[in-house]
Chain A
């Protein structure tokens, strides 16, 4: 509650700031000051209006995209989480689009358009983890990173063009200098990411969510990447220093500086994990189905384990795990898959597709009679299914 009332004070300070000529800094605990904020901000310069125009066009595409998850409630819920993170006054300037893309990402455009990918929703374990990413994206918007990034790229490419031409006139090789400047474009981008991380952390610390969560998001991601690498018989690739052409600092680096900064801030309260799980429950099966199609056995198993660690092996999780093994499809996997399908059924999984997929796994595993039984059960439950003809042909053989 303390955190919330502090936020209300901040809002009052911001509205006062709009009236004054010089924007005074907000009244907040030392280390938690937020930039001055104005409602219904309009772009001011030629560059900024241009960047916003492109964002407006891109937002139309996002709004009409077939990938957008239009089911009632999801985008409204994401907005609630954002508003809790950055405050009701700030989140009013943002439109959120939930996109069915299984990667771990969210992004922000200059005009306040935020897109959130389903892969992020699947991986977050609490509202606080989701809010940490949304707060980071909002910080990009508040700090006008699209605009300053565009201007920096233009300065750099202008310089590269002139230096290249000078080299052509003087007949000397300028590629080294040009390379240095090109690297600067990426370094600038990484600095923006760090700035957004640190401002995002200040939102988190004033929101009531735990200040330690943003660092954990990156630790979780590293754990998943390690599991992915192990599943592919590869070495883990976690590094502290980013490469020249990396767009972001490394996850390891981010987790460390975020944890260090968070240690100096108030600890915050509840991460609201239970509320988050309840809100995501209706979407979990489809998010899991999309994740399984990514052909990432180790990473997907890691995600399943981490959800199960919090809420136990639900029927949906067991079914997803069966699917994961069936998709990898070694003889041993088919056997394990059949077992998980049966466990999912025993736990109460009701969809007819379970019988179909169990039957397919059994057939491929050479258990023809049992396989046919399952496929027949599927046909009995869903005689009008789109693949019924194909399954009938399989049974007949």
Chain B
């Protein structure tokens, strides 16, 4: 814990000292040939990973429990509203009496690692692997053994959501403004990134991933969360083209806890 914090602080120092600006980054990947006919699939929403806080003057991430809790609620509500637009049944994950909680949380961690790899090594130029450069190649997964999980038996796909928001603190904003007068010391304020992904529960393949390193929408408010969720679900494969939100196929509403 401590070492990662110190490294993060060291990175923050490096950023503040040298100046570095993030490029607008947004990308969607689809398994070639994959299509989800509306109304045919049951999608299990896994416990979303949500972190909301401030960015300190020096660039450190400062966690804020109250904002994170608000975001959990607003995003859950926005997701429930968005379900209709997904055109499929969305249920939230329930361990039930399977005793698989620990194993499923391992799969969630694994998905997180896979998603980070897609973002790092395929989506954005810079660190892209030579084998991942080809167009129409999207070949990622968490392994077929996920099909054996009893607690996921009823579902066809698992939907994973990750949101990380650092709002620039007052000090950071002032630093940013002052930095405008110093050539070569560009300071950015705020970090807003997230991704959403869909895993085929029969094969373990990642069939869709949408990542955005500069997201919009203030997740602490209801309207902001709605905007954020619509950005997260951009390019969702099962989405009927501009269908009206009345085609309600949703049943259960997602919850925030486990």
Contact = CB atoms under 8 A, between A and B. Distances in A.
Do A and B interact with each other, yes or no? Answer: yes
A47 B53 CA distance: 10
A4 to B, nearest CB: 34
A253 interface: no
B64 A165 contact: no
A153 B102 contact: no
Contact of A154 (B1, B58, B68, B105): B58
A223 interface: no
B16 A64 contact: no
B114 interface: no
B73 to A, nearest CB: 14
A314 interface: no
Which applies to chain A's interface (DSSP): helix, strand, loop or mixed? Answer: helix
Given A185-B6, A189-B2, A160 B13 contact: yes
Given A46-B64, A150-B5, A165-B179, A157 B102 contact: no
A154 B13 contact: no
A60 B112 CA distance: 15
A375 B68 CA distance: 59
Nearest to A149: B2
B62 A161 contact: no
A178 B5 contact: no
B65 A52 contact: yes
Interface stretch (B129-137, B181-189, B197-205, B217-225): B181-189
Contacts of B59: 157, 161
A50 B65 contact: yes
A138 to B, nearest CB: 16
Interface residues of B, number: 39
A53 interface: yes
B171 interface: yes
24 contacts: A53-B68, A54-B63, A61-B109, A64-B106, A153-B5, A154-B60, A157-B12, A157-B13, A157-B58, A157-B60, A158-B56, A160-B16, A161-B13, A161-B57, A161-B175, A164-B17, A164-B185, A165-B175, A165-B182, A169-B181, A182-B13, A185-B9, A189-B6, A247-B3
Interface string B98-128: 0001100110010000000000000000000
Nearest to A186: B6
A232 B13 CA distance: 37
B35 interface: no
Interface in A175-221: 178, 182, 185-186, 189
Nearest to A189: B2
Top 3 A-B residue pairs of the complex, sorted by shortest distance between their CB atoms:
A157-B58, A50-B63, A53-B65
A53 B109 CA distance: 18
B252 interface: no
A150 B8 CA distance: 11
A95 interface: no
A58 interface: yes
B178 interface: yes
B62 to A, nearest CB: 6
Contact of B102 (A63, A154, A164, A185): A63
Nearest to A52: B65
Interface string A35-77: 0000000010011011111100110110111100000000000
B139 interface: no
A64 B102 contact: yes
Given A49-B66, A53-B65, 14 more contacts: A46-B66, A64-B102, A109-B1, A149-B2, A153-B5, A157-B16, A157-B56, A157-B60, A159-B58, A164-B17, A165-B178, A165-B182, A189-B2, A247-B3
A158 B171 contact: yes
Interface string A139-152: 00000001001100
Contacts of B10: 182
A294 B219 CA distance: 46
A212 to B, nearest CB: 28
Interface string B22-63: 000000000000000000000000000001010011111011
A162 interface: yes
